[in-house]
Amino acid sequence: MSTPENVDKKEVEDDLHKARNLIKKLAQEIEELVRSPIDPPTFFREFLKRVVQALHAPAGAVWLLDANRQLQLVSDLNLREIGFYDNPGSLQKNHQLLAQNISTGEAVIHRPGNPEFPLPTEHIVILASIQRDGECVGVLEIFQRADATSGSHSGMLQFVEHLAGLASKYLSKASSAAETETPAGPVQETYDQFLNDLHRSLDLKQVTATAANDSRRLMNCDRVAVCVKRGRKVIVQAISGQDKVNHRANLVRSLRKLATAVMESREPFAFYGKADELPPQLEKLLTDYLQESESRMLLILPLLKPDKLVRDEDEISGKVRRQDKLQPLIGCLIIEQINESEPRPGVKHYAQLLDYHVAIALNNSLEHHRIFLLPVWNFLGGIQEWFKGRKLAKTVAILAGIAVVGCALAFIPWDYRVEGEGRLMPIDRRTIFATANAEVEKVHVEGGMLVNRGDVLLELRDKELEITIQKTRKEYDSKVTQKLSLIQQRNNVGDSGLSSEEQVKREIELDGEIEAAEVQIQGFKEQIGLLEQSHEELKIRSPITGRVTTHQVEQLLLNRPVSWGESLIEVMNEEGPWHLELEVDEDRYGHIAQAQKATNTEALPVEFILAISPEVTYEGTLEKISTRANTSKENTNILQVDIAIEEEKLPNLRIGSEVRAKINCGKKSLGYVLFGDVIEFLRKYLWL
């Protein structure tokens, strides 16, 4: 059972719904007035009547500027009834408000009680400017009750401003009614330029982009799209202002569905703010698209395939009857306005002209792209052009030059050399390793110091070894003391007062103990000798005469714990022989092996330069190649190659000097020498 509160709430909702429908109906009637060919007095009279009715306002007026820029009352409703003419000075106050609105051009609402803006009556005054071609030429004035809620003021102001815009549209339409619809002057030039650009290319993307962008500027509309029919599918090929069409966008999908439905009817489709008597399916597609695009005006013009300009000979002679059949659809042209439902001046006229030319250009482009293997034929045609006219001599000269270069690359032999980078190093060098798990106690050398064989380089300290030596020596001393005590006891057996038999027995026992102590003492001697030898080995000595190449030895090793076998110092003999240690990519080994097999020797000639003197080239001989590959710093597989050199010919031998060397691997074609890396890449990855 419904309560009185529910009944009142329902009645309020019904009243609001009726009010909204009334406002919507009056707004549609005003838009129809804008499109209707009526004179200005009649228009503003009917216009003002509907505006006042929609706002439930007591009164309203329309003021326009005359030729002398003076405000004149064009139409009013109920001004006398609200006492507008009864108050002294009301007309002057009102003109001040109107003049200010014309100067600013902004919609404004004035409330009673503001001393800065005195009002002609006790009503709320709403003002909105009326413009023509961008110039303010009048004012729409609405008098609203002073007790209207403040929350509704903003909505009323926006509504009045919107209606004033419709009045502005009417004035602009009336002023342009005398203009001819034939392109002339600058417009004609723009039209001709559009046609030239449209038919300049046969590329489908360029044709549709020109049709969309240039026609939008020519018709002064907001958006133009071009759809192309490919088989049974319609594709949105171009949209004005967009370099690329996003076919997944909701707007594009809705447009494609609507265009497909309209093209099936083969008739132009127009929407001017409201749709009457449309099929339900088309109405739904239109509604979906309008929700995405927010367009107020929409024209969809199907594009038909143009007739042939020249009939076939059989048709002319009458042998073949021309069948009356429908022209195929090739696409459609879509024209939109976002803010206005009435087409702007020239839109309809240019739309009727442009669709024909767009259809011709689009058909030519589609016919052109239907040619089988078109890119191939274009390429071959471009090549053919080089064998005609003046280009023939240039082409022959270029081909002859290419042939000469090709023959040179294929048949001229040239030295093929495998490159490698490395260092200049002495052959006689030693790496000194730690002899025990110990701590570096003393450092006797510095980096770059010359040392002789046997010189002490480092002294290590093994605390555990020292403890073991001390312990062993104490045990040795204890055994020696024990032995001396046993010998003394053996010497004093005769004075012990024992019987001769017991003395003999005691002497035998003591002799055994002395002999056992002697054996233990001898063992401790040997153990102490070994321990002292190990302790002596903690003094790291140089195995050769040479130079210490380890830098900052003291900072690197002093007081540092080291492990047995750990590398400590490197010593190199600069007075001995030298050689090059190169790093060569593993994939170059095949060329070296082939050259060694062809020359029946492993000693291939090598040329190299030093980084310190790159202007001089030196010679060497391949000496040895490592039997296994290593990984370089760049994570590539490399081989270690040793090169024998004549060190006496090299000035200023420096350990580790960088060198670049080239191993001569015999003769190969000049083309392979220059482009061997490319050939190897193709063979490796394409198995050619």
Helix (H) or strand (E) run with residue 3 in it: none
What is the pLDDT at residue 10? 57
**CB distance 48 to 38 below 8 Å:** no
Taking residues 181-203, report their average pLDDT. Answer: 72
Average pLDDT, the chain: 83
* Rounded Cα gap, residues 113 and 99, in angstroms: 20
Range of weakest confidence among 45-54, 172-181, 570-579: 172-181
**CB distance 227 to 237 below 8 Å:** yes
Confidence grade of residue 104 (pLDDT, cut at 50, 70, 90):
confident
- Percentage of the chain exceeding pLDDT 70: 91
Range of weakest confidence among 31-35, 112-116, 382-386, 650-654: 382-386
* Rounded Cα gap, residues 423 and 581, in angstroms: 6
Tell whether the model's pLDDT for residue 666 goes beyond 70. yes
Q: Which residue has the higher pLDDT, 499 or 213?
A: 213
Confidence grade of residue 337 (pLDDT, cut at 50, 70, 90):
very high
What is the pLDDT at residue 183? 43
What is the pLDDT at residue 177? 55
Tell whether the model's pLDDT for residue 503 goes beyond 80. no
Closest alpha carbon to 94 in 127, 67, 52: 127
* Most confident region among 310-319, 390-399, 419-428 by mean pLDDT: 419-428
Q: Which residues pair with 631 in a beta bridge?
A: 637
For 560-614, the pLDDT digits (tens) are: 998 998 988 999 998 889 899 899 988 888 889 888 888 898 889 999 999 888 8
Taking residues 120-136, report their average pLDDT. Answer: 86
Going 619 to 621 to 624 to 626, the CA torsion angle's sign is positive
For 286-307, the pLDDT digits (tens) are: 999 999 988 989 999 999 988 7
Tell whether the model's pLDDT for residue 17 goes beyond 80. no
3-state secondary structure 349-396: HHHHHHHHHHHHHHHHHHHHHCCCCHHHHHHHHHHHHCCCCCHHHHHH
Q: Mind giving me the DSSP string for 616-682? A: EEEEEEEEEE-SS-EE-TTS-EEEEEEEEE-GGGSSS--TTEEEEEEEEEEEEEHHHHHHHHHHHHH
Closest alpha carbon to 19 in 47, 56, 63, 48: 56
Tell whether the model's pLDDT for residue 320 goes beyond 80. no
Tell whether the model's pLDDT for residue 184 goes beyond 70. no
Q: Which residue has the higher pLDDT, 283 or 319?
A: 283
What is the Cβ-side half-sphere exposure of residue 204, based on CA atoms within 13 angstroms? 16
Q: What are the chain's domains?
A: 4-175 (3.30.450.40), 189-308+326-370 (3.30.450.40), 429-569 (no CATH), 577-686 (2.40.30.170)
What is the pLDDT at residue 7? 44
For 348-385, the pLDDT digits (tens) are: 878 878 888 899 999 998 888 777 776 777 777 777 77
Taking residues 252-273, report their average pLDDT. Answer: 90
In angstroms, what is the C-alpha Rg of the chain?
54
What does the longest C-alpha to C-alpha distance in the chain come to?
172
Confidence grade of residue 629 (pLDDT, cut at 50, 70, 90):
confident
**C-alpha separations of 477 from 118, 468, 480 in Å:** 128, 14, 5
Confidence grade of residue 325 (pLDDT, cut at 50, 70, 90):
low
Tell whether the model's pLDDT for residue 238 goes beyond 90. yes
452 phi-psi bin (left φ>0, alpha ψ -120 to 50, beta other): beta
Confidence grade of residue 9 (pLDDT, cut at 50, 70, 90):
low
